[in-house]
Amino acid sequence: MDKRPIGVFDSGLGGLTAVRELRRILPGEDIVYFGDTGRVPYGTRSRETILQYTRQDLGFLLSRDVKFIMAACGTVSSTYPAEEAARLPVPFLGVVEAACKAAAAATRTGHIGVVGTPATIRSGSYARLLEQLMPGVQITARPCALFVPLVENGRVQPGDPVTTLVAHDYLDEVRDAGVDTLIMGCTHYPLLEPFIREVMGPDVTLIDPGRVTAAAARETLERLELSSGRSEGGTAEYFVSDTAESFDAAAHLFLGRYAGGPVTQVPIETW
Ligand code: DGL
């Protein structure tokens, strides 16, 4: 049993889709969230820059004495090397594995779509693992560079004309390719689910990486005997690299009572 908090991080707001699920299925765990709101987006940057940012994010979370770290970010999960993660002093979980396993379990036709940031799609992370899990799988992958800025700018109200246009521009070809399952390979994308659903139609299974990875996090905590042992009363604390006010307003807009807790700005480039 371990009462230390779980550390969760993302380039910005997207990781809150994982926090929401963690709060639901692990209500007795304390959570420390870091959103790099001052440097979002990550997914259009070089590998070197993403690695530098990731190491600073990890350094900050480790300074908060976390017992486990979840990278609630498809871009970080696709870029940060497994060998480096294995050397961290606490277990580390990214979102790629759980999302691929969920997609492999869901597909009936063996044709899976993957959307993500340019860095994620360029890395081939989802495609590689899907091919290992399901030899012969057919994959249609598409980078969607504008989705993260649209979310961070609050263009998520159903029917928003700009987001609708962009969603069609990116996803029409993925739908027309005939996928029956789509990995929303970036944790921001579930906030655009109504737009993605509208383009893909009712029959395509959408995989939310934060949600399925939260379930994997619970299993990992249990397996490693790191659970808090409490069934309720967990707290949430939020840290951001841009102002606390802008995060608070946006987080409420997206996630309602997202899991109230104090929000503090930190100078992340000093970690
Ligand atoms: N939520 C991050 C991800 O899953 C967004 C990355 C970005 O900032 O571009 O990829």
Q: What number does the ligand 1 atom closest to the CA of 116 have?
A: 10
pLDDT of residue 114: 98
pLDDT of residue 262: 86
Same domain, 128 and 261: no
Among residues 178, 195, 210, which one ends one of the domains? 210
Q: Quick one: 61 exposed, middle or buried, by C-beta within 10 A (0-12, 13-18, 19+)?
A: buried
- Pocket probe for ligand 1: among 8, 20, 39, 42, the residue whose CB has the most ligand atoms within 8 Å is 42
Q: Could you report how far apart the first and last alpha carbons of the chain are, in Å? A: 29
Q: What number does the ligand 1 atom closest to the CA of 186 have?
A: 4
Same domain, 157 and 206: yes
User: Measuring from atom 9 of ligand 1, which residue has the nearest CA?
Assistant: 43
* pTM across the whole model: 0.94
Same domain, 125 and 196: yes
Question: Which residue is associated with the tokens 């996630």?
Answer: 255
* Alpha helix ranges (H) inside the chain: 16-25, 47-63, 74-79, 82-86, 96-106, 118-123, 125-133, 147-152, 161-176, 193-200, 209-223, 244-255
Structure tokens at 78: 């696709």
Same domain, 135 and 171: yes
Catalytic option among 31, 61, 70, 73: 73
1 domain residue, yes or no: no
**253 within 8 A of 154, measured Cβ to Cβ:** yes
119 domain residue, yes or no: yes
Average pLDDT over residues 175-195: 97
Q: What is the pLDDT of residues 71-128, one digit of tens each?
A: 999 999 999 999 999 999 999 999 999 999 999 999 999 999 999 999 999 999 999 9
Q: Ligand 1: distance of its center to the CA of 75 in Å?
A: 5
Ligand 1 pocket member 143 (CB < 6 A):
no
Q: Ligand 1: distance of its center to the CA of 223 in Å?
A: 28
Same domain, 206 and 102: yes
Q: Ligand 1: distance of its center to the CA of 15 in Å?
A: 8
Cα separation, 1 vs 214, in Å, equals: 19
- Pocket probe for ligand 1: among 9, 11, 115, the residue whose CB has the most ligand atoms within 8 Å is 11
Q: Measured on CA atoms in the order 200, 70, 77, 56, is the torsion positive or negative?
A: positive
Ligand 1 pocket member 17 (CB < 6 A):
no
More confident residue, 257 or 53: 53
CA angle, 221 as apex, 218 and 223 as ends, to 5°?
A: 105
Among residues 195, 210, 225, which one ends one of the domains? 210
pLDDT winner (highest mean) among 31-40, 246-255, 256-265? 31-40
The band of 250, judged by pLDDT with boundaries at 50, 70 and 90, is confident
Q: What is the pLDDT of residues 35-80, one digit of tens each?
A: 999 999 999 999 999 999 999 999 999 999 999 999 999 999 999 9
35 domain residue, yes or no: yes
55 domain residue, yes or no: yes
pLDDT of residue 75: 97
pLDDT of residue 138: 98
203 domain residue, yes or no: yes
Cα separation, 209 vs 180, in Å, equals: 17
Same domain, 60 and 127: no
pLDDT of residue 246: 82
Q: What is the pLDDT of residues 134-171, one digit of tens each?
A: 999 999 999 999 999 999 888 999 899 999 999 999 99
Same domain, 184 and 221: no
Q: Measured on CA atoms in the order 81, 85, 86, 92, is the torsion positive or negative?
A: negative
Structure tokens at 262: 């104090």
Active site residue 186: yes
Q: What is residue 26's three-state secondary structure? A: coil
Same domain, 12 and 140: no
Same domain, 84 and 215: yes
Same domain, 103 and 194: yes
Q: What number does the ligand 1 atom closest to the CA of 13 have?
A: 1
Q: Alpha carbon of 226 to those of 3, 41, 138: distances in Å?
A: 8, 32, 38
Same domain, 215 and 185: no
> What phi and psi values does residue 239 have, to the nearest 5 degrees?
-125, 140
The band of 252, judged by pLDDT with boundaries at 50, 70 and 90, is confident
Over pLDDT 90: what percentage of the chain?
88
The angle, 0 to 180 degrees and rounded to 10, between the axes of the packed helices 161-176 and 193-200 is: 40
Domain that holds residue 190: 96-210
Ligand 1 pocket member 58 (CB < 6 A):
no
Catalytic option among 186, 217, 236, 251: 186
**130 within 8 A of 113, measured Cβ to Cβ:** no
CATH code assigned at 90 = 3.40.50.1860
Ligand 1 pocket member 117 (CB < 6 A):
yes
**130 within 8 A of 103, measured Cβ to Cβ:** yes
Same domain, 193 and 251: no
234 domain residue, yes or no: yes
Please count the structural domains in the chain. 2
- Pocket probe for ligand 1: among 9, 45, 73, the residue whose CB has the most ligand atoms within 8 Å is 73
Q: What is residue 227's three-state secondary structure? A: coil
Q: Establish how many alpha carbons lie within 13 A of residue 179's alpha carbon, considering only the half-sphere containing its beta carbon.
A: 29
